[in-house]
Amino acid sequence: MEVNVQRINGNWDLGYSLDKHVLSSTYIGDNQWGHPEFDTTRSEVGEALYQLKYRSNFNQVASIASQLSTSLSQYFSSACLVIPMPPSKQRARQPVVEIARALARNMGIPCYENLLLKNQDTPQMKDIENREEKVETFVQAFAINDSLGEGQYDVLIVDDLYDSGSSLEAATRVLREYGKIRNVYVATATRKH
């Protein structure tokens, strides 16, 4: 899989994304129901993520996790556990959790699926214009499940798509308030820009 790794900045200690999600998208007209249609070209990892999330092709998990591990694990060598970003939409199988599990296996560290919890629904983020309001909305929705033993931990948050970074910033804030977290790293499969 060809990727274009880029650093993503935020309140975390270090973050990287494999590639842009969409390389180009051209409006081609409206369908018979009046909805706009686009001719979209995605990056290789963007296409794999699209197939996983919107076509339920869970065969994509291994290649996405493998590429995350190959391209990014050297940056996060001190991470001792992986945390999947709490999903925004309920699904029977959560793509981001599946990716986090596979990445943790590849890195030889545990995946803590229930350390960072989303304990309340959040409104559509596109309806909230102010960035700080978005972050604060997520901070209120996240909670820590104190399931770590004694000590200080470097953690790697895994997310599928980096857009504004609001949810990742909120997750980082909540994790930093938990006394057992030392460093917070972020890895995403794709990024919007």
Q: Is the residue at 181 inside a domain? A: yes
How far, in Å, are 93, 105, 121, 186 from residue 62 at the CA level? 15, 10, 29, 19
User: Which CATH number belongs to the domain containing residue 130 in this structure?
Assistant: 3.40.50
Residue 118 lies in a domain: yes
Domain count, the chain: 1
Q: For 21-47, how does the pLDDT look when each residue is reduced to its tens digit (9 = 90+)?
A: 999 999 999 999 999 999 999 999 999
- Helix-helix angle 60-72:44-55, to 10 degrees: 140
Give dist(CA 101, CA 36) in Å, integer: 36
pTM beyond 0.75: yes
- Whether residue 1 lies inside any domain: the answer is no
> For residue 46, is it within any domain?
yes
Q: Is 18 inside a domain boundary?
A: yes
Residue 38 lies in a domain: yes
Task: Select from 159, 161, 154 the least CA-distant residue to 178.
Answer: 154
Evaluate whether residue 142 is within a structural domain. Answer: yes
Angle formed by the axes of helices 95-107 and 60-72, nearest 10°: 50
Kindly tell me if the per-residue pLDDT of 173 is higher than 90.
yes
Helix, strand, coil abundance in the chain, percent, nearest 5: 35, 30, 35
Domain that holds residue 142: 6-191
153-172: per-residue pLDDT in tens? 999 999 999 998 999 999 99
